[in-house]
Each structure stands twice: as C-alpha cells, then as structure tokens.
Amino acid sequence: MTTIPDILRAMQEGDKRALARAITMVENELEGYEELLCSIHFPKTAPVVGITGPPGAGKSTLISRLIQLALAEGKKVGVVAVDPSSPYTQGSLLGDRLRMSEHFTSDDVFIRSLATRGALGGLSAKSIEVTDVMRAFGFDLLILETVGVGQSEVEIAGLADLCVLVLVPEAGDEVQTLKSGIMEIADIFVVNKSDRDGADLFVKNLLNLVESRHALDTPVIKTSAVDGKGIAELHEAILRLSTSNTRDKKPRLMTEKAYRLLAEWKMKGVSRIVLEEALRVAEKKKDFNIYRFIRSYG
C-alpha cells in the first residue's frame, strides 16, 4: 500500500489496516491526503447516526448495545468517537474506546477515536473528512459520537443524517431551559438510565416538548443501556427514520459540510502555536487591541 490507488483498492477489499492508514493520513494531513479525499467514492449509502448528549448520559454504553444488534443482523459497523482534548497539550484520553472494548476483536466493527484538538461544538475539526473515509469503506451503519459538551453541541446536526439525543432523568427539571439549541436538533430523544427516579415525569415533559414543536413523529424512547432495555426499540426507530431523514436533510448536510471544509481550508495557514507567540509579544504593548491585532495578523 504505497500509493493512494493501492490504499483505496485495499479499502474496497475490506482491509481495515488500509482504512486505519487512510484515516491517519487525513487526520494528520500527511502527504497525499488531499488526493485521497478527492479520489474516494461511496459504494453504499449507509446512514450516519449522530449520538449526542451531556457527559455521563451513557452514550458509549448505548452505542455498544446498538452495535450488538447490528452485528446480529449481519451488518458491518463503523464508529467515530470524539473525545475531549487538553487545551494545553491537545492530548486526549480517548476513553470511549475502552467502554466499547468488547467489539475490538470483531471483524465487522471498526472504532476510531478522534481528539477535538480545541474544536468546539462536540466534534473534531477532522470529523467530516474521517467520516467520509469511513463511508468509503462500505459500512452498513456509521455512528458518530460527540464529546458531550452540552446544549451548544449542535454542529452534529449538519454532519449526521440522524441525530439521537441521549439524556438522563436528572435533566428533567432543565427541559424548559433546553428548548433551544441542542434540543432542537434531535430526531430521536432517548431517556437513558430510565430505572432512576423521575424517568416517567421526564418522558412526559419531553413528549410535551415534542408536541409544542409540532414534531409528533419524533420518538421519545426509554432505555437502560446497562440492562439492554429499550435498545431494540431505539434500533428500530433509527432504521425507520434514517432513510427519510437522509433524503430530507441532504441539501442542508452538503451545505454545512462545504461551509466547514471551506472555513478549515481558509484557516490552513494559521498555526495556534505561532499565534500564541505573536500574542505574547503584542499583549506587552500598551495600546494592544485584539481586534486590531486580528485585522493585521498574517
């Protein structure tokens, strides 16, 4: 696998090592990554399912259960799990892979973790490109798990065909304050850890919210990922909605992807490290103004 055509050919033959190499090239912008991106094609129209929600909601455990069901149906599953990075070292624990460790040995599952590297909105700056490389591999289902930053985590709506918002009963008192932002992007609401007190009341509040939004076709599903309860219902809802949502959202998805890729391309020459050093010098001046600095930078 020394050339881009070799890597792409190996990917088409199901070589996961070739897939891993392609992702590494794209994520780190190694030589040939642009040629690779411009050469990929998608043999299947597998839906990209975004799983989002606050930290501790049980997203990774839920995904692990969904993988089990997909494997039982003979499907191949790809997972992109985005983990938070340190704002100082840009390093990441990549802990979501640990919670899905039972699937590491499966030939039909590929899990790749990405660090946010300072990106906001719950996704990595390379989420679009890496997801497209995964799509080119020919999975039957692609799951994109966000870092779980909270209400502002709305970028996933522009990258995923279907958005699943995972919440827990303790969030029940916050429904009124969550009406905007992240609550508006959900195609499916999941109340996980539904064995806890307040789950039924929370579900009722979410149903009222769905009705107020005139989105009565938005499912509200109770699950307990640890026990496996409600996972089959969630799986069925994802299968039912993914096709129609993919068709309805396609123009907006393409626009959002193009916008983000253009923004990334325009910022290509900006180094965070070089910018920090320039700011250290500029801040020492008495008349320092960050807006003047930005206008004159570069």
Q: Read off the pLDDT of residues 171-217 as tens digits, 9 standing for 90 and up.
A: 655 555 455 556 677 889 999 999 999 899 889 888 888 888 766 78
The answer for residues whose C-beta is within 8 angstroms of residue 235's C-beta and 6 or more apart is 66, 69, 70
pLDDT in tens, 72-83: 999 999 999 886
Q: Which amino acid is present at 225?
A: A
Q: Are strands 188-191 and 162-167 parallel, antiparallel or unpaired?
A: parallel
pTM, two decimals, is: 0.81
- Expressed in percent and rounded to 5, the helix, strand and coil fractions of the chain are 50, 15, 40
- If the chain, 298 residues long, is cut into consecutive pieces of 10 residues, what is the mean pLDDT of each piece? 89 94 93 92 82 87 94 94 56 51 80 68 69 92 77 63 89 56 79 93 87 80 94 94 65 75 82 89 91 85
